[in-house]
Amino acid sequence: MKLPPLVIGDLKADIPIVQGGMGVGISRSKLAGAVAKCGAVGVISSVQIGFDEPDFETNTLEANARALRKHIRRAKEISPKGIIAINHMVAVNNYDVLAKVAVEEGIDLIISGAGIPMSLPAVVEGSNTKIAPIVSSAKAAKVICKMWDKKHDRIPDLVVVEGPNAGGHLGFSIEQLTGENNIDLGEIVQSVIEAVKPFEDKYKRKIPVICAGGIYTGEDIAKYIKLGAAGVQIATRFIATEECDAHIKYKQAFIDCKKEDIEIVVSPVGMPGRAIRNPFIEKIKKEKEPITKCYNCLKPCNPKNTPYCISNALINAVEGDIDNGLLFTGSNAYKIDKIVTVKELLDELVSECEAHLE
């Protein structure tokens, strides 16, 4: 059976796969543009996107705003007809300022997690930009729909459900992630689909629900589509692509990593994250890293007591200093064994998925 497209309001992605946003700098214009060009949804990560601008150290906000504009334009040049989104974390300082820059650049969609994106409907008001919260429970989906409905007469255009096997920051406790208590992504997706139904009925339009976290094969995608998901979000697999914006040493670390190298770490955001074990992780377990400069990047981070500077750690990683960087990953990175093109990856996922939808 042919894969159904992902319809987000008046946007249509022929391939119902959203490439997960990956910060810092892992998914910028090259990756997002290539994904969109193939018919899936390409996502630029906004967090500290200006890390390689000449004035990043002294003029961080402006450097980030300029780089965000540049990468949205470049991605659209690569794929003029494709769907380009940004992943914009609620936990970042200057959330509204940077979201407005993306709206001015005509971004198609803003996907927002790591908190509840309360101000997002107001930021996009009057534009054609679609908005999608990332949630890890039906309760969070309901709270967001209720608040957006009450305060802004608006509902999400898409909901992303992130499960416990995702990369980056995770919306679960360390106990939930490391204990026996197996959390099932399929069950969460189905409960989110139920939770948004009253809002679909009220607004007489569909809220597509997609899911993310540990999705690796086309068979995995077919499983969630059969459970009612409108598509999936996949991040880790896109790291081992030619077009991924990270340094080659970063990509190689994913090819080299083994199952036992993947662990749960604590991030200065106050949320757990999943990463590849390396000398950096071993070091921060033993001692705090002194903060020499604070970029004021994340609202929940206090430079006085943070175990390390997450901006520094993620910038080191994307630039290829992988022993001194933080390598966020989904749970399935150890299965990656080679670098392919985005088109090869998507072709493989689509044909496997279609075979399993028969």
Ligand X SMILES: Cc1cc2nc3c(=O)[nH]c(=O)nc-3n(C[C@H](O)[C@H](O)[C@H](O)COP(=O)(O)O)c2cc1C
Interacting residues toward ligand X by CB under 6 A: 20-23, 26, 45, 47, 87, 89, 113-114, 134, 162, 165-168, 212-215, 233-236, 328-330, 332
CB of 90 to ligand X, least distance (A): 9
How far apart CA 105 and CA 45 sit, in angstroms, is 15
Nearer to ligand X, 203 or 319 (CB): 319
Query: 149 or 344, CB closer to ligand X?
Result: 344
C-beta closer to ligand X: residue 22 or 345 = 22
For 73, residues 6+ apart whose C-beta sits below 8 A from its C-beta are 29, 105
Q: Cis omega before residue 24 (within 30°)?
A: yes
Q: Which is closer to ligand X, CB of 39 or CB of 168?
A: 168
Which lies closer to ligand X via its Cβ, residue 32 or residue 134? 134
User: How far are the Cα atoms of 55, 92, 142, 299, 332 from residue 113, in angstroms, in the given order?
Assistant: 28, 10, 15, 14, 21
* Helices (runs of H) and strands (runs of E) counted in the chain: 13, 13
Q: How far is the CB of 307 from ligand X (least distance, A)?
A: 19
Name the nearest CA neighbour of 66 among 115, 93, 104, 18: 104
Supply the minimum distance, in Å, between the C-beta of residue 91 and ligand X: 9
Tokens of 354: 């279609």
Find the shortest distance in angstroms from Cβ 118 to ligand X: 16
- To the nearest whole angstrom, how small is the minimum distance from the Cβ of residue 346 to ligand X? 14
User: Smaller CB distance to ligand X: residue 149 or 356?
Assistant: 356
Cα distance from N-terminal residue to C-terminal residue, the chain: 5
CB nearer to ligand X: pick between 145 and 212: 212
State the Cα–Cα distance between residues 337 and 353, nearest whole angstrom.
20
Beta bridge partners of 84: 42
DSSP line for 165-223: T-SEE-SS-HHHHHSS-PPPHHHHHHHHHHHHHHHHHHHTS---EEEESS--SHHHHHH
Least distance from ligand X to the Cβ atom of residue 94, Å: 15
Among residues 207 and 212, whose Cβ is nearest to ligand X? Answer: 212
Indicate the residue type of 323.
D
Inter-residue contact 162 to 213 (CB < 8 Å): yes
CB nearer to ligand X: pick between 145 and 257: 257
Which residue is at the shortest CB distance from ligand X? 330
Is the sign of the CA dihedral 13, 19, 24, 29 positive or negative? negative
CB of 105 to ligand X, least distance (A): 19
Query: From the CB of 133, what's the least distance to ligand X, in Å?
Result: 10
Minimum gap (Å) between residue 253 Cβ and ligand X: 11
- What is the number of alpha carbons within 13 Å of residue 112 lying toward its C-beta? 27
